[in-house]
């Protein structure tokens, strides 16, 4: 009888995406085939304390002991202190195979301003914008509609659409409550189209069908989780539009050095494809965007998780 693979599924975390991460981790743990996988659940509470499968505090030392007994790690922690390369660094130091991007790619993709610089360097357009801090925010003068967002946050926390000058102060305050750096970008008019990329150990890339988000107004936290957004898979794109989105996604994915899976979000405008952001650990319940995109191509949720875990193990196996 072949021994089951022992996989540690980590959820939670200290960011504002804690609850979303718990849902993703629970969903992933339940979907891994028990005939192939022995799942070990670990949780990081909102204060950073590590908990075992029973919810008992075990601390980092206790978590390290549990992780040493696992074959591979599936870190489903969104946002800062997880997706930003923090957990990848822990796994690297422990010598454990793990699903997802490495330390540098996680850190670069989490920093929206740096992601813009990388995208611009490989010829992928981004929205014109400025980087502000608490010290420089009061000097910013509103002249046209903009989107204000924290530099390093997810699930649209702290994101505001500013259509009138009197809305600016509240938007900056909301963003600075989440992060000490703020990105102010020009409001773009266009279709919101996302695509996912999986990097395989042989160097190939598995692209999902594109997804279009149809929403009335800003695709904010309420729209994401309130069920008001209309996800259309596959997006109704021309052949040229589909190729442009795919090419741009691959260019940014590879330039950042991503691996595992990432979701790359774009605006499709009259000027062409414009990058919005890159998520190296996107929402990962069965009903989240990335699993739904791959399911539309025939790769269902359990199969996608199996692919990612097996690829992580293969990537960590030295060549003969």
Contact between residue 22 and residue 9 where contact means Cβ atoms under 8 Å apart? no
The rounded distance, in Å, linking the Cα atoms of 294 and 125 is 26
CB count within 10 Å of CB 139 equals 7
Question: Which pLDDT does position 299 carry in this prediction?
Answer: 98
| Listed residue (153, 160, 133) closest to 16, CA to CA | 153
Taking the alpha carbons at both ends of the chain, their separation in whole angstroms is 25
Cis peptide before 234 (omega within 30 of 0): yes
The rounded distance, in Å, linking the Cα atoms of 304 and 11 is 18
Continuous H helices in 111-238: 112-121, 168-176, 221-225
Contact between residue 231 and residue 292 where contact means Cβ atoms under 8 Å apart? yes
Question: Which pLDDT does position 153 carry in this prediction?
Answer: 78
107-126+189-280, CATH topology level:
D-amino Acid Aminotransferase; Chain A, domain 1 (3.30.470)
* Domain ranges for the chain: 5-100, 107-126+189-280, 129-186
Residue numbers annotated as active site: 17, 155, 225, 263, 265, 277, 279, 283
Question: Which pLDDT does position 308 carry in this prediction?
Answer: 98
Question: Which pLDDT does position 228 carry in this prediction?
Answer: 57
Torsion angle, alpha carbons of 119, 123, 127, 129, to 10? 70
Question: Which pLDDT does position 215 carry in this prediction?
Answer: 75
Question: Which pLDDT does position 157 carry in this prediction?
Answer: 80
Q: Are strands 191-199 and 205-207 parallel, antiparallel or unpaired?
A: antiparallel
Class of domain 129-186: alpha beta
pLDDT profile of the chain (320 residues), mean per 10: 86 93 97 97 97 96 96 95 95 96 96 96 97 96 96 81 96 94 96 97 96 73 57 96 98 97 97 96 95 97 98 76
Find all residues with CB under 8 Å of 159, minimum gap 6, and list them: 147, 148, 149, 150, 175, 218, 220, 221
For 311, phi and psi rounded to 5 degrees?
A: -65, -40
Would you call 270 exposed, middle or buried from its count of C-beta atoms within 10 A (0-12, 13-18, 19+)?
exposed
The rounded distance, in Å, linking the Cα atoms of 305 and 308 is 5
The rounded distance, in Å, linking the Cα atoms of 281 and 82 is 9
Class of domain 5-100: alpha beta
* 3-state SS assignment for residue 9: strand
Continuous H helices in the chain: 18-31, 59-68, 86-94, 103-110, 112-121, 168-176, 221-225, 239-256, 289-296, 301-316
**CA angle (217 as vertex; 216, 223 as ends), nearest 5:** 75
């Amino acid at each position: 009888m072949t021994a089951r693979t022992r996989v540690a599924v980590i959820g939670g975390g200290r960011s504002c995406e804690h609850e979303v991460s718990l849902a993703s981790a629970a969903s992933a743990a339940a979907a891994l085939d028990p005939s192939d996988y022995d799942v070990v659940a670990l949780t990081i509470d909102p204060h950073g304390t590590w908990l075992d499968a029973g919810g008992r505090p075990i601390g980092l030392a206790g978590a390290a002991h549990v992780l040493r007994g696992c074959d591979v790690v599936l870190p489903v922690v969104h946002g800062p202190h997880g997706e930003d390369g923090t957990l990848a660094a822990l796994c690297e130091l422990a010598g454990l195979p793990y699903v997802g991007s490495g330390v540098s790619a996680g850190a670069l993709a989490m920093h929206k301003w740096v992601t813009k610089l990388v995208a611009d360097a490989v010829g992928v357009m981004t929205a014109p914008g400025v980087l502000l801090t608490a010290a420089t925010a009061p000097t910013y003068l509103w002249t046209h509609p903009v989107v204000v967002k924290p530099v390093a946050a997810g699930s649209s926390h702290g994101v505001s659409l500013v259509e009138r000058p009197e809305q600016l102060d509240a938007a900056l305050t909301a963003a600075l409550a989440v992060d000490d750096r703020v990105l102010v970008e020009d409001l773009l008019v266009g279709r919101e189209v996302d695509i996912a990329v999986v990097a395989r150990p042989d160097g190939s890339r598995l692209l999902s069908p594109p997804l279009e988000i149809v929403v009335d107004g800003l695709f904010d936290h309420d729209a994401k989780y309130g069920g008001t957004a209309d996800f259309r898979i596959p997006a109704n794109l021309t052949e040229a539009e589909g190729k442009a989105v795919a090419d741009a996604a691959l260019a940014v994915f590879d330039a950042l050095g991503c691996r595992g899976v990432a979701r790359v979000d774009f605006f499709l405008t009259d000027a062409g494809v414009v990058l919005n952001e890159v998520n190296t650990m996107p929402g990962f319940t069965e009903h989240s965007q990335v699993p739904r995109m791959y399911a539309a191509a025939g790769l269902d949720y359990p199969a996608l998780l199996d692919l990612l875990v097996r690829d992580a193990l293969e990537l960590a196996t030295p060549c003969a």
